[in-house]
Amino acid sequence: MALSRGWLLLMLLASCCCCPSMSQVLPGCIDPPADGAIAQVVVDALEAMRPYFLTGIPSLGVPLLDPMGPLPSIAFNVDTEALVLAGTVNETVVRNLAQFIICQVNVSVGLKPKFYVEFRLENFHVDGLYDVDGLAVSLFPIFGNGNYTLDTYQSGFSGSATVNYNVLQDRLSISDLVLDVFFEDIELVLECILGCGQMADFMNGFLSEIVSGIPEQEMLRDMGNANAYMDMVMANTAQLILDTGMEPLQLPNSHLDLGSDNSADLWNGTLAGLSTVRRSGTATVDTVVDWLFLYANVAVGPLEAHYQGTVTDSDGTSDFFEAWLSLDVADVYITARADLHSLIFDLDQFVISELGPVGVDIQGLGVLGWLTSSLTEVLTNHFLDDIQSALSEQLASAIQTVLNENPWPANAAENLKL
């Protein structure tokens, strides 16, 4: 999920998840936190890092992380029905990070390894200087500057994802990423709010109530924006594929080696189905410094190819054939980034994470029917190569064209800016 950067301080809890466990077992946690040998290695490594949160590693130039700060000045802009607030925080220090509790580390190994992690912190504390101006419930002015503290209690962070390994490209990728930051209570204190008058205590209590619901609202809004944006990009990409004559896509002629001096030649190949491209999971947009990052899972399929060709054996005998091959679905993981000025996303990763089962139907072979098995195997691999080429070249290019023509909405970008 993507949070607005006005809530960067809360997300620090998530970004510092590499921390050791404590002996206390909280409700919902497990003891020991690791669910197996691989997870235990992760837990042990995190445990070993605990002292460095408090001391840093001076020889490597790594600063201490508890306390962390003072952080650079952070500007923020909150715009909800209950609260409109703009301002800055300075001299911010984050405390208690070394007191994280490792709640769970689960690692499952299989065709698609998955992991789930959860960390807890009884009190996440931030303090520094603030300067704000705004309105509460469109009526009450909010203004002031001075010291501030932000405390969340019974806080936590969880994350899960699927790890994909592409054998053909020898690349690892993460998909189906889900992040969640949670807390039971939040307390925000702005000293001298409203000019240090009698309304200060009331306003601080009022603000604590309001801000407790903002992170979830921001998550849902940003996730909704990302999903709607990707749906629009996919719909426009599908239309572009139709408009530019890529449905079906013409495939190049090819010569295939069947072994033992037997071969096949292909022509008039076509691939249909690229226009079925669609979002296949939750899309998210996050922001780091002056960059937006888009993460999305995309599916294409069913895909169908048709080939005409001849098979020639070692004696020079030839036979004509036609072949129809099909693939249920191809899964693709996409990441893209845009600067906050142009808001135009450029593809960073386009990873084909999975290709579904292949169906093959070959007709027409006569006296060379004994080569059907070899032709089926080689043609299947060639079909998969054609699909990967079509996805990584034509489809990726079409998506990039649509991204170029449809920048991330400026109003949505404002929600993510500091």
What's the confidence (pLDDT) of residue 109? Answer: 67
Q: Which amino acid is at 332?
A: V
Sign of the CA dihedral running 278, 401, 386, 247: positive
Q: Tell me which residue has tokens 């007191």.
A: 99
From 182, 212, 242, give the residue that closes a domain: 212
Q: Which amino acid is at 87?
A: G
Q: How far apart are the first and last CA of the chain?
A: 17
Same domain, residue pair 241 and 326:
yes
Same domain, residue pair 189 and 232:
no
What's the confidence (pLDDT) of residue 79? Answer: 73
DSSP 64: P
User: Could you tell me the CATH number of the domain that includes residue 358?
Assistant: 3.15.10.50
Instruction: Show the tokens assigned to 165.
Output: 């390994």
Q: Which amino acid is at 363?
A: Q
Collapse the DSSP code of 387 into the 3-class scheme (helix H, G, I; strand E, B; otherwise coil) and give the result. helix
Collapse the DSSP code of 383 into the 3-class scheme (helix H, G, I; strand E, B; otherwise coil) and give the result. helix
Same domain, residue pair 338 and 304:
yes
Number of domains in the chain: 2
Same domain, residue pair 245 and 176:
no
DSSP percent split of the chain into helix, strand, coil, nearest 5: 30, 45, 25
pTM of whole model > 0.95? Answer: no
Same domain, residue pair 167 and 251:
no
> pLDDT tens string for the chain (418 positions)?
333 333 343 334 334 433 333 344 667 677 788 878 888 888 888 888 888 888 988 888 888 888 888 888 888 777 777 678 788 889 999 998 888 888 888 887 665 677 788 888 888 899 999 898 888 767 778 888 888 888 888 888 777 777 766 655 566 666 666 667 777 888 888 887 877 766 666 676 666 665 655 554 444 444 447 888 899 999 999 999 999 999 999 999 999 999 888 999 999 999 999 999 999 887 888 777 678 888 889 999 999 999 999 999 988 888 999 999 999 999 999 999 988 888 899 998 899 988 878 999 999 888 888 888 899 999 999 999 999 999 999 999 999 999 998 888 765 545 444 3
Collapse the DSSP code of 227 into the 3-class scheme (helix H, G, I; strand E, B; otherwise coil) and give the result. helix
Same domain, residue pair 11 and 92:
yes
220 inside domain: no
Same domain, residue pair 358 and 289:
yes
Using CA atoms, how far apart are residues 259 and 101, in angstroms rounded to an integer? Answer: 60
| Cβ atoms within 10 Å of 404's Cβ, excluding its own | 12
105 inside domain: yes
Same domain, residue pair 369 and 335:
yes
Same domain, residue pair 47 and 184:
yes
From 212, 244, 271, give the residue that closes a domain: 212
218 inside domain: no
Same domain, residue pair 260 and 282:
yes
What long-range pairs does 107-115 form, CB within 8 A, spacing at least 24? 107/35, 107/36, 107/38, 107/39, 107/42, 109/38, 112/162, 112/163, 112/164, 112/354, 113/162, 113/163, 114/160, 114/161, 114/162, 114/163, 115/160, 115/161, 115/163
From 212, 245, 276, give the residue that closes a domain: 212
135 inside domain: yes
Are 150 and 126 in contact, with CB atoms under 8 Å apart? yes
Are 97 and 53 in contact, with CB atoms under 8 Å apart? yes
Collapse the DSSP code of 5 into the 3-class scheme (helix H, G, I; strand E, B; otherwise coil) and give the result. helix
| Cβ atoms within 10 Å of 330's Cβ, excluding its own | 26
Using CA atoms, how far apart are residues 166 and 331, in angstroms rounded to an integer? Answer: 11
99 inside domain: yes
Identify the domain containing residue 354 by its residue range.
226-416
What's the confidence (pLDDT) of residue 153? Answer: 87
CA angle 351, 357, 362 (to 5 degrees): 120
217 inside domain: no
- Return the beta strands (E) in 301-342 as ranges: 303-312, 318-327, 330-339
219 inside domain: no
Collapse the DSSP code of 148 into the 3-class scheme (helix H, G, I; strand E, B; otherwise coil) and give the result. strand
User: Could you tell me the CATH number of the domain that includes residue 106?
Assistant: 3.15.10
Using CA atoms, how far apart are residues 262 and 208, in angstroms rounded to an integer? Answer: 77
106 inside domain: yes
Instruction: Show the tokens assigned to 286.
Output: 């996050």
Same domain, residue pair 144 and 187:
yes
Same domain, residue pair 197 and 238:
no
